[in-house]
Amino acid sequence: MKSNMDDELSLDKIDDYKGTESKEKRNIVRLVVIFCLVVGAIFAYLKYNSEVSDYIGTKEAPGIVTNKK
pLDDT digits (tens, 9 = 90+) for 13-51: 777 777 777 889 889 999 999 999 999 999 999 988 887
Residue 38 lies in a domain: yes
Secondary structure letter of residue 63 according to DSSP: -
Tell me how far apart the alpha carbons of residues 52 and 68 are, in angstroms, rounded to a whole number. Answer: 10
In the chain, the number of structural domains is: 1
- The burial class, CB within 10 Å (0-12 / 13-18 / 19+), for 61 is exposed
Residue 67 lies in a domain: yes
Q: Is the pLDDT of residue 52 over 90?
A: no
| Domain span holding position 42 | 18-69
Residue 12 lies in a domain: no
Tell me how far apart the alpha carbons of residues 24 and 31 are, in angstroms, rounded to a whole number. Answer: 11
Tell me how far apart the alpha carbons of residues 9 and 37 are, in angstroms, rounded to a whole number. Answer: 33
